[in-house]
Amino acid sequence: MKAIRVSEACNADEMRLEDIPVPEPKAGEALVRIEAAGVNFIDVYYRSGTYPGAYPMTLGMEAAGRVEKTGTGVTSVKPGDRVASISFTGSYAEYAVAPAEKLVPVPEGVSATQAAAVLLQGMTAHYLAHSTYPLRKGQACLVHAGAGGVGLLLCQMGRRIGARVFATAGSPEKVALARAAGAEVAIDYTKDDFVAAVKKGTDGRGVSVVYDSVGKTTFDGSLDCLEPRGTMVLFGQSSGSVPPIDPQILNKKGSLFLTRPTLFHYTATREELLERSSAVLDAVARRELDVKVFREIPLAEAAESHRLLEGRKTTGKIVLVP
């Protein structure tokens, strides 16, 4: 089968399309024929070495498709079932395996492309808005990179809850998209001071929570956007890692809370995974959650997807098609 592989931490140009054997599902695993694979920033971190990878490796963890074969002891799925997962070992491929308990059903009315486009980012937006800091009606929040994959979904969810959503984005076009997704105030943070805009929009008080996936370039400003006892949710580092901080800063800036969550801890049990995935996929089926597929790219051209993502050229999701 064809798969996108890297032999070591490298730049996007070194991602190679290779022929490798179709993996064999072990006990408790299922083999899935991939119809669409989701491209996420975490794949960039593994490819580039920001996160340590077990090289050589096939990239990607998210995809949707049909179960081809199951290993021994699997009763939750059978060949032919439509499934999606964020736990594949190498989803940039024609086939991939995942633990059967990490597969979720794809409901009627949701295509493989939509499922691969929304599962990881949608469950992320869901746990951020409903579990890490459960937003309430009328509360103000700030979403950085509001026109990105997670960002567009988080703006929609915040708006649906009835929160006041402030968003940042990196160009006038992206600002318009964030606004269309539900941001009441959208700020081009490459030009304008987002701290001043947030303070102005909240009569000087600040927001209750900041959802910050940009990291290095926004972290300090994000703390300044918070109301006393507000919550800083750092959930990514698209611009680079945040350097170590002195906890005393949380005191000085208003008894703030800081958390650095990851989706895998918010979908750790089968029960929570199913609850969260069905909340997201059912909302897509009901047309309550709009999934913006920025581009569908042939598997062989996967390197382009990473160049676009790292180059801040995307809005919404890139999906790879084997």
Which ranges in 128-213 belong to alpha helices (H)? Answer: 149-161, 172-180, 194-201
The piece of 47-55, 64-72, 103-111, 308-316 that touches ligand NDP (CB under 6 A) is 308-316
Residues 6+ apart with CB under 8 A from 115: 36, 64, 84, 106, 281, 284
Size of the site for ligand NDP (CB under 6 A): 30
Q: Which helix (H) or strand (E) holds 230?
A: strand 226-234
Place of tokens 């024609």: 94
The piece of 57-65, 145-153, 275-283, 299-307 that touches ligand NDP (CB under 6 A) is 145-153
- b/e 192-223 (16+ beta carbons within 10 angstroms → b): eebbebbbebbeeebbbbbbbbbbebbbebbb
Q: Exactly one of 58, 85, 114, 124 binds ligand NDP (CB under 6 A); which one? A: 124
Give the residue among 115, 88, 92 at the shortest CA–CA distance from 31.
88
The piece of 8-16, 110-118, 260-268, 274-282 that touches ligand NDP (CB under 6 A) is 260-268
Q: Exactly one of 11, 255, 262, 269 binds ligand NDP (CB under 6 A); which one? A: 262
Q: Exactly one of 156, 222, 238, 305 binds ligand NDP (CB under 6 A); which one? A: 238
Q: Exactly one of 93, 96, 129, 263 binds ligand NDP (CB under 6 A); which one? A: 263
Q: Exactly one of 65, 122, 158, 170 binds ligand NDP (CB under 6 A); which one? A: 170
Which positions from 5 through 44 interact with ligand NDP, judged by CB under 6 A? 40-42
Q: Is 310 in the site for ligand NDP (CB under 6 A)?
A: yes
Of 86 and 299, the one with the shorter C-beta distance to ligand NDP is 86
Q: How many Å from the N-terminal Cα to the C-terminal Cα in the chain?
A: 10
Q: Of all residues in this chain, which one has the CB nearest to ligand NDP in the complex? A: 148
CB of 308: closest distance to ligand NDP in angstroms?
9
Give the residue among 92, 156, 71 at the shortest CA–CA distance from 303.
92
What is the gyration radius of the CA atoms in the chain, in angstroms? 20
Coil, helix or strand for 19? strand
| Binding site residues, ligand NDP, CB under 6 A | 40-42, 120-121, 124, 145, 147-151, 169-170, 174, 213-214, 217, 235-239, 261-263, 309-310, 312, 314
